[in-house]
């Protein structure tokens, strides 16, 4: 019996990009297609089968510890980007400003899809969602360069809307206009979730 359940939700890819050197800027360069290997996208600063741990997993590891790289891709929804822009008082937020790898359209409340859900493209390319991508100050620095005075508003405006991080489960190529189907783990929400969160 499959542990992952196909859903009725399908998303259209509306933007693709790469961040070449995060040390210089988080701003991504747009692309028509994104070939994916097991280590992620070629010529992308987040690519690799392993990575150095960061603040996202600081409760587990000392910063810089080598761990498996489940943060190869940054995936956002167009609907949530539009909401972030509205929250900031901007007409739009360019996906390049937030270092997006992939922007999709068509899945409601995308940032909160279950961890370990999959998105599968038409050629079989499949990415696995790791977890919610928490807002940080780095996109704000890019936005400040584009719209002076707005950079500091990004982090609060993007709370709960920043999309997810993901990793490549099956290589392939994603192309603008492709449709990706959502698969979710076929299990109930853990009964002790609120207890574990300390509520």
Does residue 20 register a pLDDT over 90?
A: no
Strands (E), 49-163: 50-52, 66-68, 73-77, 102-105, 118-120, 126-132
Classify the phi-psi angles of 192: left when phi > 0, otherwise alpha if psi is within -120 to 50, otherwise beta.
alpha
pLDDT at 12: 98
Q: Is the pTM of this model over 0.75?
A: yes
pLDDT above 90 for 24: no
Q: Is the pLDDT of residue 1 over 80?
A: no
pLDDT in the model for residue 27? 86
pLDDT, position 199 = 64
Top pLDDT among 26 and 61 is at 61
Q: Work out the average pLDDT over 116-120.
A: 98
Contacts (Cβ under 8 Å, ≥6 apart) of 90: 147, 150
Q: Do residues 66 and 51 touch, judged by C-beta distance below 8 A?
A: yes
pLDDT of residue 22: 67
Q: What is the pLDDT of residue 43?
A: 86
Q: Which of 118, 73, 121 is nearest to 98 (CA)?
A: 73
pLDDT digits (tens, 9 = 90+) for 31-88: 999 999 999 998 899 999 999 998 889 999 999 999 999 999 999 999 999 999 999 9
Q: What is the pLDDT of residues 123-165, one digit of tens each?
A: 999 999 999 998 887 888 889 988 999 999 999 999 999 999 9
Q: What is the mean pLDDT of residues 190-197?
A: 93
Q: Residues 180-195: what's their mean pLDDT?
A: 95
């Amino acid at each position: 019996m499959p542990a992952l359940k196909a859903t009725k939700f399908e998303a259209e890819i509306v933007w693709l990009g790469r961040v070449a050197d995060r040390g210089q800027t988080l701003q991504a360069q747009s692309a028509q297609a994104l070939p994916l290997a097991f280590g992620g996208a070629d010529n992308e600063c987040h690519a690799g089968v392993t990575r150095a741990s960061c603040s996202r997993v600081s409760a587990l590891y000392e910063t810089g510890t080598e761990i498996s790289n489940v943060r190869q891709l940054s995936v956002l929804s167009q609907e949530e980007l539009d909401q972030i822009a509205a929250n900031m008082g901007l007409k739009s937020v360019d996906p390049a400003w937030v270092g997006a790898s992939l922007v999709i359209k068509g899945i409601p409340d995308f940032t909160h899809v279950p961890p370990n859900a999959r998105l599968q493209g038409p050629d079989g390319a499949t990415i696995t969602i790791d977890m919610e991508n928490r807002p940080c100050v780095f996109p704000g620095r890019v936005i400040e360069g584009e719209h002076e005075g707005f950079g500091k508003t990004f982090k609060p405006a993007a709370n709960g809307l920043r999309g997810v991080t993901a990793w490549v489960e099956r290589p392939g190529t994603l192309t603008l206009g492709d449709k990706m189907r959502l698969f979710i783990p076929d299990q109930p929400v853990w009964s002790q979730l609120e207890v574990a969160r300390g509520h």
